[in-house]
Amino acid sequence: MAFKNSALADIYARVEKRDPDQKEFLQAVREVLESIEPVIEKRPEFAKAGIVDRIVEPERMIVFRVSWVDDNGKVQVNRGFRVQFNSAIGPYKGGLRLHPSVNLSVIKFLGFEQIFKNSLTGLPMGGGKGGSDFDPKGKSDGEIMRFCQSFMTELSKHIGSCTDVPAGDIGVGGREIGFMFGQYKRLRNEFTGVLTGKGLTYGGSLIRTEATGYGLCYFTDEMLRANGKSFKDQTVVISGSGNVAIYAAQKATQLGGKVVAMSDSAGYIYDKNGINLDVIKDLKEVKRARLSEYVKSVPSAEYHEGKGVWSIPCHIALPCATQNELDENDAKMLVKNGCYAVAEGANMPSTPEACEYMIQNGVLFGPAKAANAGGVATSGLEMSQNSIRLSWTAEEVDEKLKGIMTNIYNSAYNASVEYGCPGNLIVGANIAGFTKVAEAMLAQGVAY
Ligand code: NDP
Ligand code: 2IT
């Protein structure tokens, strides 16, 4: 798709010229800039204040060495990142990803998306993201601890409960947050809510573990209900088998759906009777094993090596693994097999061509920024609880999460109507998320 607005075309060309190799970042920027064209036309004050020129450039990027000693006494070196993208509406907020594919492009795309996602939650959080190319697979608890401590030794200089509040993402869950929190406290001698996703014994929030997956299903349910449908008796396929995928599967099942397939980076399982989540949780949360082991506990299920989870027929598909995991061919296969709703638990899991195909073919489509915002929203609720030094019950947090997901659906839908493409939630979410940040930047002047 080409830009109709020449000012936006020029801005995109400058971003591309500045970082021609950052393909994930460019992909994320292009989608947002295409969506906000009508806002830029309607609100000339945004262009005058250079809002878009500024919003595509991070306020600060920190890149650092992380050295640590493995179990054999050998020194290992990784690269750490924290991109503090935008603080117009609150302290930088966003997860940390530990995966060998992490580079500046990946962290910048995630940080950029986080700005608009956080804005959509209605909570006061700016956008940021970080991580490292460290590969947690096969590492001992001691190695994970030493890596996390070394990572935090540098990161601690740049974060704080009113400055930047990291959390989990791929490869970072409760164990890693615990090690990082311990190191931050040791270095700074202060007990503050500097990270979210903490354990329940030291300031974590109930429901944060479940929040992204639950929120995804609350959002999807809202989208389905607005179109006269529901999860009841529907076949659901979910990619991934990590934090987001597991709790999406749990909530989809509670809402009456039947989850028949899940995946990891090596392959996927198909269980026509409905996936047994106790087995998945034991494999993934306790044993940290491969998904292929599922068939040892459930012999009637099938395991297939490689990609291909989208070839399983379903009504509702929830991509919950990683970026660009659902391409145009996958989208065609899903539609051909009767899939009518897709909601993104992962960040940018569908390629631009896949998104285009699904929207053109009438698939109800919940884009990541809106659909997976329940995780960071509940992180925001964890920050609130830390600030007032109180903990809310699971019911209270869950109720707030539901309310936030309903509001996000309504904001994205209403913006899609206001700007002339009713039901296109990609455009609606980008516009609603952008407008609030743009107004805050406008009010705060141009000095950064
Ligand atoms: P986890 O590390 O818990 O799980 C990741 C899952 O995705 C694993 O099953 C993993 O398989 C699979 N996966 C990771 N990378 C790849 C890859 N390159 N190709 C195929 N499969 C892959 O991470 P989360 O569940 O926390 O995150 C999943 C997605 O959700 C990410 O896009 C993340 O940014 C997004 N997200 C997470 C939130 C959170 O609160 N945690 C909030 C909002 C979005 P394997 O184990 O084999 O690597
Ligand atoms: O992509 C995301 O929104 C997250 N990984 C969660 C971020 C957070 O701060 O809870």
Q: Mean pLDDT over residues 405-434, rounded?
A: 98
- Residue ID of nearest Cα to ligand 1 atom 2: 170
Q: Are residues 264 and 294 in the same domain?
A: yes
Does ligand 1 have an atom closer than 6 angstroms to the CB of 31? no
Q: Are residues 70 and 143 in the same domain?
A: yes
Does ligand 2 have an atom closer than 6 angstroms to the CB of 243? no
pLDDT one-digit tens code per residue, 320-345: 999 999 999 999 999 999 999 999 99
Instruction: Report the CATH number at residue 82.
Output: 3.40.50.10860
Q: Are residues 45 and 145 in the same domain?
A: no
In angstroms, rounded to a whole number, what is the distance separating the alpha carbons of residues 197 and 205?
7
Does ligand 1 have an atom closer than 6 angstroms to the CB of 243? yes
At residue 253 the predicted structure's pLDDT band, cuts being 50, 70 and 90, is very high
Is 283 within 8 Å of 245 (Cβ atoms)?
A: no
Give which of 15, 151, 48 is closest to 96, Cα–Cα: 151
Q: Are residues 117 and 232 in the same domain?
A: no
Question: Own/partner pairs for 42-49, CB < 8 Å, 24+ apart?
Answer: 43/438, 45/442, 46/438, 46/442, 47/7, 49/441, 49/442, 49/446
Residue 403: pLDDT over 80 = yes
Q: Which residues are catalytic?
A: 129
At residue 447 the predicted structure's pLDDT band, cuts being 50, 70 and 90, is confident
Residue 88's pLDDT is 98
Q: Are residues 265 and 345 in the same domain?
A: yes
Residue 312's pLDDT is 98
Looking at the domain assignment, is residue 350 inside a domain?
A: yes
Looking at the domain assignment, is residue 181 inside a domain?
A: yes
Which of 114, 165, 172 is the pocket-test mutation for ligand 2 (most atoms within 8 Å of CB)?
Answer: 114
Q: Are residues 97 and 166 in the same domain?
A: yes
Q: 376 CA distance to ligand 2 centroid (A)?
A: 5
What average pLDDT does the structure give for the chain?
Answer: 98
Q: 168 CA distance to ligand 2 centroid (A)?
A: 6
Looking at the domain assignment, is residue 256 inside a domain?
A: yes
Q: 307 CA distance to ligand 1 centroid (A)?
A: 15
Residue 130: pLDDT over 70 = yes
State the CB neighbour count (10 A cutoff) for residue 285: 15
Give which of 118, 120, 105, 134 is closest to 28, Cα–Cα: 105
Q: 287 CA distance to ligand 1 centroid (A)?
A: 17
pLDDT one-digit tens code per residue, 64-106: 999 999 999 999 999 999 999 999 999 999 999 999 999 999 9
Q: 151 CA distance to ligand 2 centroid (A)?
A: 18
Looking at the domain assignment, is residue 220 inside a domain?
A: yes
Among candidate residues 55, 70, 91, the one where a domain is terminated: 55
Residue 1: pLDDT over 80 = no
Does ligand 2 have an atom closer than 6 angstroms to the CB of 347? yes
In angstroms, rounded to a whole number, what is the distance separating the alpha carbons of residues 163 and 272?
48
At residue 441 the predicted structure's pLDDT band, cuts being 50, 70 and 90, is very high
Instruction: Report the CATH number at residue 334.
Output: 3.40.50.720
CA pseudo-torsion sign 284, 230, 301, 326 = negative
Q: Are residues 265 and 359 in the same domain?
A: yes
In angstroms, rounded to a whole number, what is the distance separating the alpha carbons of residues 385 and 369?
24
Can you say how many angstroms the Cα of residue 197 is from the centroid of all Cα atoms in its chain?
14
Looking at the domain assignment, is residue 160 inside a domain?
A: yes
Give which of 110, 190, 180, 124 is closest to 381, Cα–Cα: 124
Report DSSP letters for 135-153, one per residue.
--TT--HHHHHHHHHHHHH
Q: Are residues 164 and 292 in the same domain?
A: no
In angstroms, rounded to a whole number, what is the distance separating the alpha carbons of residues 218 and 220?
5
At residue 288 the predicted structure's pLDDT band, cuts being 50, 70 and 90, is very high
Looking at the domain assignment, is residue 305 inside a domain?
A: yes
Does ligand 1 have an atom closer than 6 angstroms to the CB of 372? yes
Does ligand 2 have an atom closer than 6 angstroms to the CB of 424? no
- Residue ID of nearest Cα to ligand 1 atom 42: 375
Residue 268: pLDDT over 80 = yes
Does ligand 2 have an atom closer than 6 angstroms to the CB of 379? yes
Cα–Cα separations (whole angstroms), residue 302 to 237, 270, 387: 14, 5, 48
Q: Mean pLDDT over residues 391-415, rounded?
A: 98
- Residue ID of nearest Cα to ligand 1 atom 33: 346
- Residue ID of nearest Cα to ligand 1 atom 28: 321
Find residue 326's DSSP bridge partners: 350
Structural domain harbouring 24: 6-55
Does ligand 2 have an atom closer than 6 angstroms to the CB of 153? no
**Which tokens belong to 13?**
């060309």
Q: Are residues 352 and 217 in the same domain?
A: yes
Give which of 31, 66, 121, 13 is closest to 354, Cα–Cα: 31
Give which of 243, 250, 244, 296 is closest to 269, Cα–Cα: 296
> Percent of the chain having pLDDT more than 90?
99
Is 401 within 8 Å of 381 (Cβ atoms)?
A: yes
- Residue ID of nearest Cα to ligand 1 atom 13: 321
Cα–Cα separations (whole angstroms), residue 180 to 64, 148, 153, 187: 16, 6, 9, 11
In angstroms, rounded to a whole number, what is the distance separating the alpha carbons of residues 375 and 405?
10
Q: Mean pLDDT over residues 9-38, rounded?
A: 98
Q: Mean pLDDT over residues 125-135, rounded?
A: 99
Composition of the chain by helix, strand, coil, percent to 5? 50, 15, 35
Q: How many domains does the chain have?
A: 3
Q: State which H helix or E strand residue 80 sits in.
A: strand 75-86
Q: What are phi and psi of 373, to 5 degrees?
A: -75, -5
Q: 147 CA distance to ligand 1 centroid (A)?
A: 20
Q: Are residues 323 and 237 in the same domain?
A: yes
At residue 316 the predicted structure's pLDDT band, cuts being 50, 70 and 90, is very high
Among candidate residues 343, 366, 389, the one where a domain is terminated: 366
Which amino acid is it at 286? V
Residue 212's pLDDT is 98
Residue 333's pLDDT is 98
